[in-house]
Amino acid sequence: MPDNANAMPRPGQRHYVAPPEDVKVDVVDALDASEAPSSMWKDAWREMRRRPLFWASAVLIAVVLTATIVPSLFTSVDPGSCDLEDSLGDPSAGHIFGFDKQGCDIYARTIYGARASVVVGVLATIFVVVLGTLVGAVAGYYGGWFDTILSRITDIFFAVPLVLAAIVIMSLAATRTSLVVATVLALFGWTSIARITRGAVLSVKNNEFVTAAKALGMGRGAILLKHVLPNSSAPIIVYATVSLGTFIVAEATLSFLGIGLPLSTVSWGGDLSKAQASIRVAPEIMIYPATALALTVLGFIMLGDVVRDALDPKARKR
């Protein structure tokens, strides 16, 4: 049988060819020049808002941020007002979580504890993004001895465990404010984002638009700032979103160990540390701040997953 047997007309088969005037090619190929071109961020937003996971994480983060900025919206009780007569008291009207061993309102301390943890997490993330992006961008774009020296420095800091290094530094610190804790965490937490930035810059710097900018006489620094970094920002944003939750946990760990924020500062880690003494008789004292901490970190992790899938089509789940 010939190869084109299937293409041969069958007996009695009729063919219809539309007249040229009925084929509206100009309509099919028409381009609406008035519509603004779509961008990566617009496509990412369109993808994210279709995901239920995005809205769930957005609600969690919105509640936590509101509690951080305006905690009085959730409770009118002073978290520092404690009465030993209420020690380990049961929940009551206006005190839905009861009281801890010191007679402090657990609900109020859970709400106000968000401020310290979130502030440290946000500050540490900002410091890490600035430092890590600077080091990774310079190493990846300029290459040569810049890349060699900065990469070796990154490897040295990367080999030091974040929490262990923070414990050593914080034990020597004269003051323990939110800024100090965030700076210490950022000092040893920038290496991952530096590596991510370096890889992203290496994949972008040889693209056609970079070559065109060089041909137009634009300086290397201007090209890096205006063309390379904006097109390398997607993985940086994803990592920053996830790392914010990581730094919140790191702050809680340091405060739990007694070398983070001072005990006078209301924080989830500090309350978890105090609750150890009553965990057998009143485990709920530890459950409430631990749940708030876990939900906050979960919100940022889920948001990071959604942002990653939206900005990287290859990572989207089919």
Per-residue pLDDT at 26 exceeds 60 = no
In a domain, 295, yes or no: yes
With respect to residue 260, please indicate whether it lies within any of the assigned structural domains.
yes
Q: Averaged over 270-288, what is the pLDDT?
A: 85
Query: Which of the pair, 279 or 159, is modelled with greater confidence?
Result: 159
The answer to whether residue 20 sits within a structural domain is no
For residue 277, how far is the Cα from the chain centroid? 34
Mean pLDDT of 234-255: 89
The domain in which residue 223 lies consists of 40-313
How many domains does one find in the chain?
1
H helix or E strand, kind and range, residue 244: helix 233-256
Domain assignment of residue 308, yes or no = yes
- What residues contact residue 241 under an 8 Å CB cut-off, 6+ apart? 300, 303, 304, 307
Among 36, 60, 88, 47, which Cα is nearest to 274's? 88
Structure confidence at residue 6 as a pLDDT band (50, 70, 90): low
pLDDT tens digits, one per residue of 111-124: 999 998 899 999 99
> How far apart are the C-alpha atoms of 206 and 212, rounded to whole Å?
10
Q: Supply the DSSP string of 106-146, one letter for each residue.
A: HHHHHHHHHHHHHHHHHHHHHHHHHHHHHHHHHHHHH-HHH
> What does pLDDT average to over the chain?
83
Lowest mean per-residue pLDDT among 79-88, 103-112, 203-212: 79-88
Residue 6 lies in a domain: no
Which of 23-27, 75-79, 219-223 is predicted with the least confidence, judged by mean pLDDT? 23-27
Tokens (6 digits) for 231: 């097109």
Contact 197, 133 (CB under 8 A): yes
- At 313 the pLDDT is 56
DSSP code at position 198: H
SS3 21: helix
- Grouping H, G, I as helix, E, B as strand and the rest as coil, residue 99 is strand
> Using the 8-state DSSP alphabet, how is residue 227 labeled?
I
pLDDT at 138 over 80: yes
- Domain assignment present for 33: no
Residue 2 included in any domain: no
> The tokens 């600035």 sit on which residue?
130
| Predicted local confidence at residue 182, as pLDDT | 92
Residue 140 belongs to some domain of the structure: yes
Most confident of 127-131, 144-148, 231-235, 303-307: 127-131
CATH number at residue 89: 1.10.3720.10
